[in-house]
Amino acid sequence: MKLDLKEEEKEEYIHFLLRQYRLVDALWFLAVEDKFGLDAAVELNERVWEDMGRRSAKEIKRRFKIDEKGLKGFVRALKYFPWSTIIGYEVVEKKGKVIISVPHCPPQEARIRMGRGEFPCKEMHFREFRFFAEEIDERIVVRCIFAPPDERQDCWCRWEFAVE
């Protein structure tokens, strides 16, 4: 069956799909946590998002014809990454590096509302970002400035990307 959307419905449908994507991720994580514990959920999440970082960047490059290397190609590809829209990454391009900050984190904020507390997502995001960036340009290196379980500063987490 083909979905025939009016122009004004397309953006709403995109937001619906992104919400479903986020909910599947969240519900999967919570189900694993409830059955096997937080450590198992975190470990499996790290493996999944390492693979998703790579796969997403590869498909984004192909679908949106991104051939640029370096930080320019990375930032261009990142705009198509679903989590960029879901989370609302704040991206600052400086000479020789890109800084990503996360002012609001729906998964962490939902956990706090549910009384579950923060979960350590630093290694998972490090892998996700590392493999996404490497797929764009293997010279890009990722450095975590801070992320849970680290103490928060003015946002949930902050990441630095540079070409070496």
Rounded Cα distance, 137 and 96, in Å: 14
Task: Express each pLDDT in 135-153 by its tens digit.
Answer: 999 999 999 999 999 999 9
Q: What's the first-to-final CA gap in the chain, in angstroms?
A: 48
| CATH number for the domain harbouring residue 87 | 3.30.1380.20
The answer to whether residue 132 is domain-embedded is: yes
pLDDT digits (tens, 9 = 90+) for 13-27: 999 999 999 999 999
For residue 160, list its beta bridge partners. 99, 143
Per-residue confidence (pLDDT) for residue 85, from 0 to 100? 92
pLDDT attached to residue 11: 92
Q: How confident is the model at residue 28 (pLDDT cuts 50, 70, 90)?
A: very high
Q: Is residue 31 part of a domain?
A: yes
- Distance of CA 76 to CAs 12, 66, 68, 69, 151, Å? 23, 8, 9, 10, 30
Give mean pLDDT, residues 71-88: 96
In a domain, 107, yes or no: yes
Q: Quick one: pLDDT at residue 82? A: 95
Q: Considering the domain boundaries, does residue 2 fall inside one?
A: no
Number of domains the chain contains: 1
Dist. CA 25–CA 76, nearest whole Å: 24
In a domain, 61, yes or no: yes
